[in-house]
Homo-oligomer: A and B are copies of this chain.
Amino acid sequence: MIQNRQRLYEAILAKQSFLCIGLDPDVNQIPASCGTGVGGMERFCKEIVDATHDVTVAYKPNLAFFEQYGAAGWAALERIVAHIPNECMVIADAKRGDIGNTASRYAQALFEGLGADAITVTPYMGEDCVRPFTAFGAGRWTIVLALTSNVGAQDFEFYGDPPLYERVLEKAQAWGTPDNMMFVVGATRPHHLARARALAPEHFFLVPGVGAQGGTLEDVVKAGWNPQCGLLVNSSRGILYASPDSDFAEKAREAALELQNSMAHCLKATT
């Protein structure tokens, strides 16, 4: 459990990494050596964790990939989360969002049941959908979607003047603190990432979209850095599927190390 942003910053300095590894285990891409079905998915994720935990500060399991297999998938996810070393943050990428009494249950399911340290939350329905997560106390993080990295972000996140994502950044800050709330801000629109940083100078940003989606680490650091780093940069496919063969864990480590090296340079340049 990482109690606040100072502790998170210390974890980042200790590992010289602000990497988050997305666990999106696609059964069609998992090497045959792991086995098939839910069992293969579980083994694959655990081997990825074993090969990378010293160079990443967080793992972000994407719940859809597990829910897809119903109760069996959920049980596998529980075992994978239990397998992740305590010093790594577990971000349940669930993008939940529902009214108070329901949101409380999602928070309980993911913080307590699953043992996640952080949960991604959709802000569409407003304050009463976010507060039940931030109410959970120290060491439990709520990560509110602000500006996502996908093409469809154009449809509503940019609606209005100023655009909706700016409104979300401004309003949602009142529902938590920089010590228990982060924002999702994508890497694919660096100009807007800089704008988000201006609006939320103290919060950590969870940044998807580096790699396959076209964002670069350099642009992200330039636009989103703050005095405590302020960034968790996610990579999923580039690490998980670095090799389609039985050397996948070794190649995943190499891909993670490459990112971590670049991150260490950024950290050295600023501290």
Contacts and interface: CB of A to CB of B under 8 A. Distances in A.
A7 interface: no
B68 A113 contact: yes
Interface string A123-166: 11111111000000000000001001011111111011100100
Interface residues of A, number: 58
Contacts of A69: 109, 113
A196 B151 CA distance: 26
B105 A67 contact: yes
Contacts of A75: 70-71
A265 interface: no
B127 A64 contact: no
Given A70-B75, A167-B156, A62 B126 contact: no
A24 B100 CA distance: 13
Nearest to A102: B64
Copies of this protein chain in the complex: 2
A122 interface: yes
B164 A152 contact: no
Given A97-B95, A98-B95, A145-B125, A105 B156 contact: no
Name which of A65, A93, A155 has the most chain B CB atoms within 10 A of its CB: A155
A189 interface: no
Contacts of A155: 123, 126-127, 171
Chain A interface SS verdict (over half): helix
Contact of A128 (B126, B152, B167): B152
Nearest to A120: B98
A74 B171 CA distance: 34
Given A129-B152, A160-B164, 19 more contacts: A67-B74, A67-B106, A67-B110, A68-B106, A69-B109, A70-B113, A71-B78, A97-B124, A99-B152, A122-B124, A123-B124, A123-B156, A124-B124, A124-B156, A124-B157, A125-B157, A126-B152, A130-B152, A159-B164
26 contacts: A24-B101, A24-B102, A67-B110, A67-B113, A68-B105, A68-B108, A68-B113, A70-B74, A70-B114, A71-B71, A71-B78, A95-B98, A99-B150, A122-B122, A122-B125, A123-B156, A124-B145, A124-B156, A125-B145, A125-B152, A126-B154, A127-B155, A128-B151, A156-B171, A159-B160, A160-B160
